[in-house]
């Protein structure tokens, strides 16, 4: 885990002030590593995820090392808790709030996104980093963090919904295919009072059920194709015979059983072989 933290910290260069010296940058990177590792060591049940360092560097730049540790730990026990679990199951449920929200606000956009099959993973970095990974300007990051710190834990997904709805007309004009829509979405007081999480819970369950059914249908289709290929590769050696001979063999099978069918097939094969031989291997006259 420590190695992963160090690797991620080294990738945060764009988050540091552009005019600092290499020595100062290295000092900040060391502090960020200490901030993250201190929180994780104090809370052994936390499971580090990529993007956690984006939250940590924001607090470090604003508050310094000591306060950053306190803030990151408190936030990890509350707002970020679902992302620090052993699996992504709870995170995926939070992401699933997006589609019922869009369905309530813009059925046309909801249907378009569903038809594209773009899913919710495009906004995963928004959610787990509080947009710090996606926003390019520091002032926008800290302004948004002020808002999210004073908001309920699910507010980042409402911000995602607001962003998407703000670009509704642009997104409706995107061709209905997953790569194009994913690219368009990735470039990219909100609806909380009007659509509280409790009002969306049933929609979340329905969305997750549809996703599961879609995955099961795709898996069943793959299994069917695999079985069809296996069946084709294991067909009877007589599959290449003329259709009249195959029908004669099947008719014989229905009337006299497998033994007679095999005998009839063998006779048919011999007859075909003799016919071919008589054409291509005539004795010289």
Q: Give me the CATH number covering residue 159.
A: 1.10.472.80
Q: Please report whether residue 284 resides in a domain.
A: no
Q: Of 229 and 233, which is predicted with more confidence?
A: 229
Q: Is the pLDDT of residue 28 over 80?
A: yes
**DSSP letter, residue 261:** H
> What does the pLDDT look like over 248-284, one tens digit per residue?
555 544 544 555 555 555 555 555 455 544 444 454 5
Tell me what pLDDT residue 227 has.
84
Same domain, 144 and 176: yes
- Specify if 283 maps to a domain: no
| Dist. CA 49–CA 274, nearest whole Å | 72
Q: Give the residue from 38, 54, 84 where a domain finishes.
A: 84
Collect all residues with Cβ–Cβ distance below 8 Å to 280 and sequence separation of at least 6: none
Q: Are residues 46 and 23 in the same domain?
A: yes
- Is residue 156 within 8 A of residue 131, CB to CB? The reply is yes
120 and 209 in one domain?
A: yes
pTM listed for this prediction? 0.65
Residues 60 and 139 in one domain: no
Give the span between the Cα atoms of 283 and 259, in whole angstroms: 36
What is the predicted pLDDT for the residue at 280? 45
Boundary-marking domain end, from 34, 66, 84: 84
Geometric angle at alpha carbon 214, from 211 and 216, rounded to 5°: 110
**Same domain, yes or no: 99 and 28:** no
Please give the pLDDT value at position 267: 52
């Amino acid at each position: 885990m420590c190695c992963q933290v160090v690797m991620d910290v080294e990738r945060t260069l764009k988050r540091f002030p552009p005019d600092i010296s290499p020595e100062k940058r290295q000092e900040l990177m060391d502090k960020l590593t200490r901030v993250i590792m201190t929180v994780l060591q104090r809370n052994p049940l936390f499971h580090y995820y990529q993007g956690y360092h984006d939250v940590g560097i924001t607090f470090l730049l604003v508050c310094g090392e000591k306060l950053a540790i306190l803030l990151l730990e408190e936030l990890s026990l509350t707002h970020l808790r679902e992302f620090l679990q052993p699996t992504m199951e709870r995170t995926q449920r939070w992401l699933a709030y997006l589609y019922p929200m869009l369905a309530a606000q813009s059925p046309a956009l909801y249907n378009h996104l569903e038809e594209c099959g773009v899913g919710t993973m495009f906004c995963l970095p928004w959610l787990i980093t509080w947009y710090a990974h996606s926003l390019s300007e520091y002032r926008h990051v800290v302004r948004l963090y002020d808002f999210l710190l004073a908001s309920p834990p699910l507010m980042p997904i409402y911000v995602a919904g607001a962003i998407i709805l703000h670009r509704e007309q642009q997104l409706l004009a995107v061709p209905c295919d997953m790569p194009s829509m994913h690219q368009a979405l990735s470039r990219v007081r909100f609806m909380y009072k009007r659509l509280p999480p409790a009002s969306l819970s049933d929609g979340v369950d329905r969305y997750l059920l549809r996703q599961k059914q879609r995955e099961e249908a795709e898996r069943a289709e793959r299994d069917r194709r695999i079985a069809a290929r296996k069946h084709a590769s294991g067909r009877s050696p007589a599959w290449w015979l003329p259709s009249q001979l195959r029908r004669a063999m099947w008719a014989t099978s229905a009337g006299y059983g497998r033994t007679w069918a095999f005998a009839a097939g063998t006779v048919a094969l011999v007859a075909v072989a003799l016919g071919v031989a008589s054409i291509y291997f005539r004795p010289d006259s």
